[in-house]
Amino acid sequence: MGNFIQFIKFSIVGASNTILTLLAYSLLVYFGVYYVAANIIGYSIGVLNSYFWNSRWVFTQTASGKSTVYKFVCVNLIVLCLTTGILFALVTFMNGNEYLSQIAATVVGLGINYVLNKIWTFK
């Protein structure tokens, strides 16, 4: 039951990250920022929110410190590279909509982010 509750909390934090990321991304693209740059900036805003809430509410049993921050940054850099690559491929090679493609890339990144944070960052 504990893992289920933890996943629900992670999902709530993830939803808030997604809202912040999508909002920032959409505003930046709307104002003419290149969609890849907008994705990186938007994702970075979500990461700050994510670390704050995941380290204090979702994975509270773990020790905080430089090691946790390092691992968290590594996980998010991996997910950022993956989602940016997916976004770029969908828009460039498949003529996907910049907004819908970003949502699709985000969905893929969610599961990977949870697993890596659970088994490595906040172990």
pLDDT of residue 12: 93
Going by C-alpha positions, the residue among 112, 107, 18, 114 that lies closest to residue 59 is 114
- Does the pLDDT value for residue 1 go beyond 70? no
Q: What is the DSSP letter of 32?
A: T
pLDDT digits (tens, 9 = 90+) for 40-99: 999 999 999 988 888 888 877 555 577 888 898 999 999 999 999 999 999 999 999 999
- What is the predicted pLDDT for the residue at 62? 54
Residue 22 has pLDDT above 60, yes or no: yes
All structural domains of the chain with their residue ranges: 2-121
Q: Which of 50, 44, 11, 10 is nearest to 25 (CA)?
A: 44
